Amino acid sequence: LAKTTQPISMDSYEGQEVNITCSHNNIATNDYITWYQQFPSQGPRFIIQGYKTKVTNEVASLFIPADRKSSTLSLPRVSLSDTAVYYCLVGDGYQTGANNLFFGTGTRLTVIP
Amino acid sequence: GAGVSQSPRYKVAKRGQDVALRCDPISGHVSLFWYQQALGQGPEFLTYFQNEAQLDKSGLPSDRFFAERPEGSVSTLKIQRTQQEDSAVYLCASSLGTSVNNEQFFGPGTRLTVL
């Protein structure tokens, strides 16, 4: 089970780009990297997923170096509504019926006006 | 369309009482997960269903915890003889496929407080 390490908290001003880095030194060959976002009193929400290099969608980008031992979630021009906890997870895309998603404590991002 | 719903949203129980928490997943979703989230912590896996089959219950903390999904849709998490350490938010998630990496859609959770 590949576990992850993230900063506990980060602060950013509105309009800035935020980069949250996650370490996953024991990532396995078949593991994907997935990021979820959680607002207070809500369940987590899927943001983005990748395996290698770079993935971009309408809300974020995910950068994964060649060794895949870390990944960086990039949020462009954050707003106050991006204040949330962000979780980095790694898991085997080929296993079924397995619980190998470890959320950890996540990174609490606070966007300041 | 409707997302994952959970009921009740809040539950207060006296120590020793039994509680039942309900999860209505997104229609057609094969996989269903239960998580426990303590204050300030990330969700921790409890159990996993693929249709009606409970394929993994390794995260259930004790034999007081029991989950079922008899018809492969609605699921119930039951906690018997509740203890104060059971106080947490219980999250349910469903996903369309069977890979753990399929996007999981979470419900709002049930906040359980055991007095």
pLDDT in tens, B40-97: 899 998 999 999 999 989 899 999 999 999 999 999 999 999 999 999 999 999 999 8
Residue A77 is classified by DSSP as S
pLDDT at B101: 78
CB-based contact B106 A91, cutoff 8 Å: no
Nearest residue of A to residue B111, measured between CA atoms:
A41
For A14-49, write each residue's pLDDT tens digit: 999 999 999 999 888 888 899 999 999 999 999 999
Rounded Cα gap, residues B72 and A27, in angstroms: 32
pLDDT of res. B1? 57
The structure tokens listed for B82 are 């509740």
Arithmetic mean of pLDDT, A82-99: 74
**In this predicted structure, what is the pLDDT of residue A26?**
87
Residue range A98-106: mean pLDDT, rounded: 73
* H/E element, A13: strand A9-13
Q: Whose CA is closest to A23, among A42, A2, A47, A50?
A: A2
Confidence label for A3 from pLDDT (cuts 50, 70 and 90) = confident
pLDDT at A91: 77
Element (H, E) at B6: strand B5-7
Report the half-sphere exposure of A51 (CA within 13 A, side-chain side).
Answer: 8
Band (A97; pLDDT cuts 50, 70, 90): very low
In this predicted structure, the answer to whether residue A93 has a pLDDT above a threshold of 90 is no
CA nearest neighbour of B95 among B103, B87, B85: B103
Percent of chain A with pLDDT over 90: 74
Q: What distance in Å separates the CA atoms of residue A68 and residue A92, rounded to the nearest whole number?
A: 14
* Chain B interface residues (partner A, CB cutoff 8 A): 4, 33, 35, 40-45, 48, 50, 55-56, 58-59, 91, 93, 98-101, 103-109
Confidence of residue A96 (pLDDT cuts 50, 70, 90): very low
Under DSSP, the state recorded for A4 is -
User: Which DSSP string corresponds to B16-68?
Assistant: T--EEEEEE--TT--EEEEEEE-TTS--EEEEEEETTEEEE-TT--STTEEEE
Res. B98: pLDDT tops 60: yes
> Which two structure tokens, joined as six digits, stand for A18?
């935020």
- Which site among A96, A105, A107, A108 would you substitute to test the B interface, given the most B Cβ atoms closer than 10 Å to its Cβ? A96
Residues B22/B32, Cβ–Cβ less than 8 Å: no
**Residue A72: alpha-carbon gap to chain centroid:** 7
- A28 interfacial to chain B (CB closer than 8 Å): no
CB contact under 8 A, A46 and B104: yes
